[in-house]
Structure 1
């Protein structure tokens, strides 16, 4: 940027904001809440301070609505925030993504580590979770006898299905050693096997209050239980390791009671409806059967009438057989006549064939004779022509055939040299001669 360029205040704040957001990553900050204000819009505004400094903070409604506690002045918290600058006033502030009470970071980390390890072992897999019985004969409850959750569960069970017996396996659900005692109660219920389903429950509280249900010993005991386990711990927003391991997670203890037993009134209404459906179905079936009986009654025929009908049918079939036989015989007779006529038409006439053969033989002999005569005349002509071309005939007229020493025919005196030996052939016999003189071509 040019140092001589004059910025507006808005441009300056925007540049500072970009520099802060790009230079400082999302990070956790710890401090004490002061000047807390909850706006009508649902957004929270406060300052986070320590002994030496403070910073303004804002947490918007779409983030704050998921917190399970309400911040207050003086509370020590840890916030996950993005450092930014509010351009309108030039205030440096933190925009919060998450918030938790200070000191719970280690608990959350322990929670996540155990959750990840048990999940890798398959304790959360859906295929290992068992279905709850439709009508349990007896329900077991693992909780503290003084817990308000127990009263809610008993009241809900009594309202929905008062005839189902309940067995309480008392155990403390909070405090030192409570996790081992909860696991011991679950183990005892599984070994005694006197209940069809087991509810593990307690009311809401902070993460420290519910921590016993995040212990590994409780999770593994629930996973090893021979009885289906429903976990109803805390409020709807509370999640524990026991929730993930249990066969069913209920949002509240009351919801756990509603899950294990059906509503008696709903069952009665369903039974009344089913009885009505059954009565109507039986009546419809009865009516259909009566109509079927009437239909079959109309189709029922007296044996004498059935025999008479069969006899008439048999007579008709015999008549059809006779007609079919007669028709078949007439058809075969007509076919035989046609074939006989065709056979007669195809019979050869021997005398006519003999006459044709004799005529063709005579014609063949005549043609052969004419052919032989033509070939004889042609042969005589070729013989005469051959005699005319015969060299012997030429030699007989006084000519001779001259060859040099190599046997080549001499056609010109230019081919000869004085003293050269020649071989002369006459019409009868031959002679050898020596060239003494050669002459050029003689003119007329």
Structure 2
């Protein structure tokens, strides 16, 4: 009789078969990522595909937390892991233990991804860059306590301006935990406010050796810093994320020391030149002002201060006389014109005519002046205006 199996037994059997296969236990697979999902638990679920097939993949948080880059849909990668069966769903899938970009280094890809991310957020914006102090009283240096870097910085600053106080904050500049140490040092220095400018320094090295200065935690601390930060990591050709976020990039740690610490002899020389130029300018200005004073005191205004007043008073008297004379002439002219017009008006006045024996007759009913015999009728009441009064009468 044929054996009857349960679904669980079949899935378990297939899992055992696949697990014993040497080829599927430790393999490397090349493909393209699609349907990528980063679960809230930290696990990554995605599909790896080529031109004709695909396989489900899972990368648990235990492994993906070590990735230097962020997987994306469409990214070609090389994956290391093993194939097994998920018994509950009866689905075989690839359990990923390692992942690297296909054709480009993981660190280089992570560098470009973080650079693009921070640039979009504005961490590289020039408007946020703080100016360096002209003459700092204290300089903080975050670097390794051993090696040539710190000795070069101390020697150069001591030679250029020995009055500057150098405060060294030793940290690991590479390896596990270096980025966190650098970040904590920057934050700590900002809380203490004990320096005027801060230098992040490290000698040259490979991308892996400089990686601590490419970590996001360091970039965030530099951006938050209220103290100006100078990034001096590696050689002139080396660029890190810290260089883009910092307020100033120095090609080398030695160059950073020269940027931060002015040369004392040059400052003294500049100061002496400024003092000389100021004294010469003051003397020249004094001579100019003295000559102006002499010209003013020699002028007629100072020798005869009231002459201008007297001249103006005389002009005022002349203007007053001219004004009075003009007013009198206008008054005489208008007086004569008034007399002529008054005579004409008097000649035309009805009173003058009445004074010669004439009278004006009006109809008392309507006040109309009687000009013709036809304007009256029998019984009409009239008013006769004479030179010295009026007479009322009736027409018979």
Shorter chain as denominator, the TM-score bin is 0.5 to 0.7
User: What's the counterpart of residue 255 of structure 2?
Assistant: 255
Q: Secondary structure at the match of 2:298?
A: helix
* 1:240 is the counterpart of 2:222: no
Q: What's the counterpart of residue 43 of structure 1?
A: none
Write the distance in 2 (CA, Å) between the matches of 1:153 and 1:327.
95
Gaps of 5+ in 2: 1-101, 354-370, 373-396
Give, in angstroms, the shift of residue 311 of structure 1.
5.0
Alignment partners' CA distance in 1, 2:260 and 2:298: 57
- Tell me the SS of whatever aligns to 1:286: helix
Distance 1:192 1:103 in 2: 46
Per-residue deviation, 1:160: 2.6
Match of 1:133 in 2: 133
Change (3 A) 1:229 1:275: same
Question: How far, CA to CA, are the matches of 1:135 and 1:300 in structure 2?
Answer: 55
1:172/1:308 CA distance change after superposition, 3 Å: closer
* Deviation of 1:215 (Å): 1.5
* Cα distance in 2 for residues equivalent to 1:315 and 1:110: 96
Please give the root-mean-square deviation of Cα atoms over the aligned residues, in Å.
Answer: 3.8
How far the C-alpha of 1:197 sits from its partner, in A, is 0.5
Question: Corresponding residue for 1:322?
Answer: 321
Say if 2:149 is the partner of 1:154.
no
For residue 195 of structure 1, report the CA deviation from its aligned partner. 0.9
SS in 2 for 1:232: strand
Q: Secondary structure at the match of 1:337?
A: helix
CA distance in 1 between partners of 2:207 and 2:160 (Å) = 31
Separation in structure 2 between the aligned mates of residue 181 and residue 156 of structure 1, nearest angstrom:
26
Correspondence for 1:389 = none
Equivalent-residue separation in structure 2 for 1:239 and 1:321 (angstroms): 90
Q: Which one has a bigger Cα radius of gyration?
A: 1
* Counterpart-to-counterpart distance in 2, 1:173 and 1:296: 74
- What is the CA–CA distance in structure 2 between the aligned matches of 1:120 and 1:274, rounded to whole Å? 45
Deviations 1:147-175 (A, max 9, x none): 32223322332333222111111122123
Instruction: Give the 5 Å matches for 1:158-307.
Output: 158-299=158-299, 306=305
Retained in 1: the 8 A contact 2:296–2:302?
no
How many residues are matched? 264
How far residue 194 of structure 1 moved from its aligned partner, in angstroms, is: 1.4
Contact 1:147–1:202 (Cα < 8 Å) also in 2: no
- CA, structure 1 residues 349+197, in 2 after alignment: closer, same or farther (shift >3 Å)? closer
Alignment of 1:400-439 (within 5 A): none
TM-score by length of 2: 0.56
Gaps of 5+ in 1: 1-101, 354-360, 363-444
